[in-house]
Structure 1
Amino acid sequence: MQQAGVRQSISALGTGLGPDVLGQCRALFDAEQSALLAQVPVTAGDVSYGPHERHCLDLYRPQDDDPAPIIVFVHGGGFLKGDKGGTNDWPNANVGRMAAQAGFVGVVLNYRLAPDHVWPAGTEDVASVVGWLKANIAQHGGDPERIVLMGTSAGAVHVAGYLKLAGAADIRAAILLSGLYGYTPLDQRDTLYYGDPALYPDRMPLEAVASTSLPLLLACAEFDPPRFQAEFLGLMQDRLARHGTMPRAFIHSGHNHYSMAMHLGTGDRRLSDEICAFVRETTA
């Protein structure tokens, strides 16, 4: 489908979330993304980085043999669901392929999910992946000193939580797509991961993301739900107040909460070009 048609279809879906919207978004990119599956196959699949069955990741390696920067992608799913995809399932795997085609090592991971695994499980899993990369990625063509974390939705929350848990010493930068940082109240779904906000008011990663000196790229979509747009604007304003400047940011016209990550690697290169330029600049 041509980009104008995709934009029209996404606009018609509005700013809602849910399985029906998710399915319709996937259908918009299914043909193009499925055709791209074979272009960059999984270099190493279901690699274990910890003891749990969901402690697994896929690696996508570029053709260049030189040690490459690493993009680690953490999928969304509202803390309760989601999967890294793979050889036969393109959603989220498309980000790993996009990274490899741009000359980076792409890493796409699974992590433990709520309600069985609550805060800070997702963040701890991201930290475990960083530790695994530090020890092992050189043998897969990656430079362990040039790691960039990237997450969408709940994945962005876990990346932001990593800054709260581990700081910025082991990574070069972070890319946060449509995340929640603590500028709006938790909803019922969030509490399945975070617990009662009255009992645990300081679990959101607001302070860590607002105060860090780590290079950040923030993004939200034109048709993101209002809450996610408010979070984006809240963080932008907070960063401006604290640092005297805004972080690098991108408002993706013609896309919604799901399509912003789903379309990466397609002919619409606006966001992927921004991401790749940011990674190159922060890992040079």
Structure 2
Amino acid sequence: MRETLAAQSERLGPEAIAQVHRLYLPEQQRLAAELVPSALDVPYGPHPRHRLDLYSGSGGHALAPILVWVHGGGFMRGDKRSTEHPFEAHAGRFAARHNFLGVVMNYRLAPQDGWPAGGEDVGHVVDWLRDNAASHGGDPDRIVLVGTSAGATHVATHLHLRSQTPSVRGAVLLSGLYGLTPSDGERDAAYYGRDPQEYVRRVPALGIVQTSTPLLLCCAEFDPPRFQTEFLGLMQRRLDHHGRAPRAWIASGHNHYSLAYHLGTQDHRLADEILDFARSCCV
């Protein structure tokens, strides 16, 4: 498996995603059969993409902390759930199995909706949870955001737009782009616009460096160089600004897509990092 994931290290797009899906499909399908969603397609705003799914575990008398999953997709695609595969929804089930209320959200997509739509939508979900989470067994004052790829960028943008959100106790950023490298290609332009000066103004780099919200930063051994450069650059800038580096983890043996899609499987190294971080934020 390591060789397969290494061979895809420079490839991004639907074909590479499908190949990674196939590697983890049997195990994720088995896990999917063990836990069903507690609510589907719940509206959190007026746009058709403003929908979320909820996953709750066996429950208890106390309200559970909340884990919000923000999918990737290069700003232009992605969905919280599919009838064709168990991925993205796998993160909600993972959260529920570990006594969190799992929230898997959709958000508006480029080019129809550019910056700051994704970051705003993360904020809309946080607001919805503050008003409604308790009725679904979640604690609205203990929210941890987890974003992968473009989703990590949107989580970072939320923290840039709202420097103080007391209910958000922490954020996990998996292989995101934060604006520490130059704009690259049509995907960036579709979301941020084509003006280089606007790109510099809109990226969340400054806000994510300065935020006091605890962070867990992750990247993959076989991530493309741009993602690794962003990971290391954010580490250094957080160290320079706060006087200490944030919690961080490099996923050996994984690439850009497997970093997210293996979550919950027998390779539990990333799961352990996320759970330990989230629990420490929610005490």
TM-score higher than 0.5: yes
Q: Please, which of 86, 89, 110 is the counterpart of residue 90 of structure 1?
A: 86
Deviates further, 224-233 or 169-178 = 169-178
Q: Alpha-carbon deviation of 1:257?
A: 0.5
Runs of 5+ consecutive residues of structure 2 not aligned to the other structure: none
**Is contact 1:37–1:87 with CA below 8 Å preserved after alignment?**
no
Residue identity opposite 1:11 in structure 2:
A
The answer on 1:181 being equivalent to 2:178 is yes
The answer on 1:30 being equivalent to 2:25 is yes
* Residue matched to 1:63: 58
Q: 1:115 to 1:29 in 2, by over 3 A?
A: same
Moved over 4 A (4+): none
Runs of 5+ consecutive residues of structure 1 not aligned to the other structure: 1-5
DSSP-derived class of the 1:202 partner: helix
Q: Please, which of 76, 83, 86 is the counterpart of residue 80 of structure 1?
A: 76
* Residue matched to 1:3: none
* Residue matched to 2:274: 275
DSSP-derived class of the 2:194 partner: coil
Structural mapping, 1:161-240, within 5 Å = 161-169=157-165, 170-188=167-185, 189-200=187-198, 201-240=200-239
Q: Alpha-carbon deviation of 1:35?
A: 1.3
**Is contact 1:42–1:86 with CA below 8 Å preserved after alignment?**
no
* Residue matched to 2:117: 121
- Aligned alpha-carbon RMSD (Å): 1.2
* Residue matched to 2:46: 51
Q: Distance in 2 between matches of 1:12 and 1:216?
A: 30
DSSP-derived class of the 2:201 partner: coil
Per-residue deviation, residues 188-232 of structure 1 (Å, max 9, x unmatched): 211100012424121000011111111000000000000000000
DSSP-derived class of the 2:57 partner: coil
Residue identity opposite 2:119 in structure 1:
T
Normalized against structure 2, the TM-score is what? 0.96
Q: Alpha-carbon deviation of 1:55?
A: 0.6
Q: Alpha-carbon deviation of 1:258?
A: 0.6
Q: Alpha-carbon deviation of 1:93?
A: 0.6
**Is contact 1:37–1:88 with CA below 8 Å preserved after alignment?**
no
Q: Distance in 1 between matches of 2:66 and 2:101?
A: 5
Q: Distance in 2 between matches of 1:61 and 1:86?
A: 19
DSSP-derived class of the 1:179 partner: coil
Q: Distance in 1 between matches of 2:213 and 2:124?
A: 19
Q: How many residues were matched structurally?
A: 279
Structural mapping, 1:242-253, within 5 Å = 242-253=241-252
Q: Alpha-carbon deviation of 1:12?
A: 2.5
**Is contact 1:113–1:122 with CA below 8 Å preserved after alignment?**
yes
**Is contact 2:160–2:211 with CA below 8 Å preserved after alignment?**
no
The answer on 1:158 being equivalent to 2:154 is yes
DSSP-derived class of the 2:86 partner: coil
DSSP-derived class of the 2:4 partner: helix
Q: Distance in 2 between matches of 1:34 and 1:237?
A: 39
The answer on 1:16 being equivalent to 2:15 is no
Q: Distance in 2 between matches of 1:220 and 1:138?
A: 33
Q: Distance in 2 between matches of 1:94 and 1:67?
A: 22
DSSP-derived class of the 2:244 partner: coil
Q: Distance in 2 between matches of 1:226 and 1:178?
A: 11
Q: Alpha-carbon deviation of 1:9?
A: 1.8
